[in-house]
Amino acid sequence: MQKADAVVIGGSAAGPVAGISCRRRYGDKSVILIRKEKRVLVPCGIPYIFGTLGSPEKNLIPDALLQNNGIELVEDEAMEVNRERKVVSLNNGNTVSYDKLIFATGSSPAVLPIPGIEKGNVFTARKDVAYLKNMLDAVNDAKDIVIIGGGFIGVEFADECKKGRNCNVTIVEMLPHCLQLALDDEFCSEAEGVLRDRGIKLLVDSKVEAILGDNQVSGVRLSGGQELKADIVIIGVGMVPNNELAKRAGLEIGPGKAIAVDRCMRTTADPDAFACGDCAEKVSFFSGKPSRLMLASIACAEAHIAGANLFHTHYQNPGAVGVFSTIIGERAFACAGLTERAARQEGYDIVLGESTAPNTHPGGMPGAVSTKVKLVFSKHNRMLLGSGISGGKSVGEIANVISACIQSKMTAYELSLFQMGTHPSLTASPIVYQLVNAAELATKAK
């Protein structure tokens, strides 16, 4: 029987961060992290194994993070939690006892109830090195690749599968647009244009009804009857929380099928058990209502809170803002906060501010990329609610500038006076800096 003041179950984004947060705040408390994986994949890096990185081994979270922060690693699967005795049972028969417990069990790819899904060469973005190695071999051998789901995962897989390969890639998306849950229509259309320019075929408003073939997949049939050839099918239609262990331990499961927690990341059922990351229920920053967002960055913020709150309460979770970014070919897309569509759905009366300018100045600097920022404000008080962005690589951190402004509840008035640093090679011109320009326009919008 091993023993620690705090035990964390889960080794991906949230687990280590929760452990580190605890160790930093409570230097005298011991932390054990239990995980079943020998090697842990960077979750957001998985699509990049298939083009940019070239192998799962290049997409690992280094264990030095744990060692450097005095966290003991136990490599085994947690099978049961006895909350009365405060003991975690492992697959090898050993047990680990705890004072405080953190569930950071993550999520798994959603499985669709499509006939034929069990066939060979049908894959998901499973966080498993050996599985992804097989998948990489299959992608390398494929001539026709069908991707089910045109969200971030699907789009990133499509773009990466094209890199350095002479294969046909088709995305099948149920909704009218790819990326529609994350971006407003005009950005979706722009992204779809980039995907098409890269030779990727898009079938939107389309549903896969069956996966065809004998043992191995040979194609898919769409609900309209159309059949597509496929040597391999990749399913990227979202993730579901890993809630089984918590459920067996008698913890409450919430409306999103994740572990129910309060604003302090404590499980609603047990003050000594916490949960964070994809396995924990979330609420929206903007409405307080349940949110289905699952992002490594949200997981890490929750993990900071959980780790810090273990022995004394320090923080409350303000709710998930939702900040995404991605890049397709050379064009980056991002959203911080609510899209225009989501803001309207939440019942906000809104005003918009939009501004497009090169990401360098003068615009003739080599490598200049036209960068578009759309800001969404509440009409009533001009508070910043969200955004859409497209441009070059700086889009990733521009989304974070906007996220900072959202989190501090800046208004269009305040943002129109924003003091940014600018440099010819690194940013837009101060005269046309998109955030400020868009905000100023929004102060006057009717």
410 binds a second copy (CB under 8 A): yes
Structure token digits, residue 188:
């979706």
Is residue 312 a contact residue for a second copy (CB under 8 A)? no
Which distant-in-sequence residues (6+ apart) come within 8 Å of 228 by Cβ? 144, 146, 170, 172, 203, 219, 220, 222
Nearer to a second copy, 212 or 415 (CB): 415
CB 228 within 8 A of CB 208: no
Binding to a second copy by residue 102, rule CB under 8 A? no
The only residue of 305, 306, 376, 383 in contact with a second copy, by rule CB under 8 A: 305
Binding status of residue 430 toward a second copy by CB under 8 A: yes
- Count of C-beta atoms within a 10 Å radius of residue 80: 13
Task: With CA atoms as reference, report the closest residue to 270 among 244, 250, 299, 290.
Answer: 250
- When asked if residue 161 is in the footprint of a second copy (CB under 8 A), the reply is no
Interaction with a second copy in 198-237: which residues (CB under 8 A)? none
Beta strands in 265-394 (DSSP E): 266-267, 270-275, 282-283, 290-291, 323-328, 331-336, 350-358, 370-378, 384-391
Strand order in the sheet with 350-358: 323-328, 331-336, 384-391, 370-378, 350-358
* The only residue of 32, 61, 147, 246 in contact with a second copy, by rule CB under 8 A: 61
Q: Does 53 bind a second copy (CB under 8 A)?
A: yes
CB 48 within 8 A of CB 160: yes
418 binds a second copy (CB under 8 A): yes
Strand 384-391 to 331-336 pairing: antiparallel
Return the structure tokens found at 66: 């744990």
* Between 381 and 425, CB nearer to a second copy: 425
Q: Which stretch binds a second copy (CB under 8 A): 70-78, 196-204, 235-243, 422-430?
A: 422-430
294 binds a second copy (CB under 8 A): no
Query: Of the two residues 16 and 116, which places its CB atom closer to a second copy in the complex?
Result: 16
Residue 194 in contact with a second copy, rule: CB under 8 A: no
CB of 305 to a second copy, least distance (A): 6
- Cβ atoms of 293 and 322 within 8 Å: the answer is yes
d(CA 274, CA 105) in angstroms, rounded, equals 11
Q: Collapse the DSSP code of 8 into the 3-class scheme (helix H, G, I; strand E, B; otherwise coil) and give the result.
A: strand
Nearer to a second copy, 69 or 218 (CB): 69
Q: Does 111 contact a second copy by CB under 8 A?
A: no
Q: Residue type at 190?
A: E
Among 104, 352, 401, 412, binds a second copy (CB under 8 A): 401
Show contacts with a second copy in window 112-151 (CB under 8 A): none
Nearer to a second copy, 273 or 301 (CB): 301
38 lies in the site for a second copy, by CB under 8 A: no
Q: Does 69 bind a second copy (CB under 8 A)?
A: no
How many chain residues interact with a second copy (CB under 8 A)? 85
Q: Within positions 336 to 375, which residues make up the interface with a second copy, using CB under 8 A?
A: 336, 361-362, 364-366
Nearer to a second copy, 287 or 407 (CB): 407
**Residues 4, 7, 13, 125: which binds a second copy (CB under 8 A)?**
13
Residue from 119, 315, 356, 379 binding a second copy (CB under 8 A): 315
Per-residue binding letters, 251-280, with a second copy (x by CB under 8 A): ------------------------------
Phi and psi torsions of 443, nearest 5°: -65, -30
Is-contact 414 371, C-beta < 8 A? no
* Binding flag, residue 327, a second copy (CB under 8 A): yes
To a second copy, the closest distance from the beta carbon of 62 in angstroms equals: 8
106 binds a second copy (CB under 8 A): no
Does 325 bind a second copy (CB under 8 A)? Our answer is yes
Closest CA to 142 of 157, 125, 155, 126: 157
Give the C-alpha separation, 176 to 343, whole Å.
19
The residue (of 132 and 301) whose beta carbon lies closer to a second copy is 301
Q: Are strands 144-148 and 232-235 parallel, antiparallel or unpaired?
A: parallel
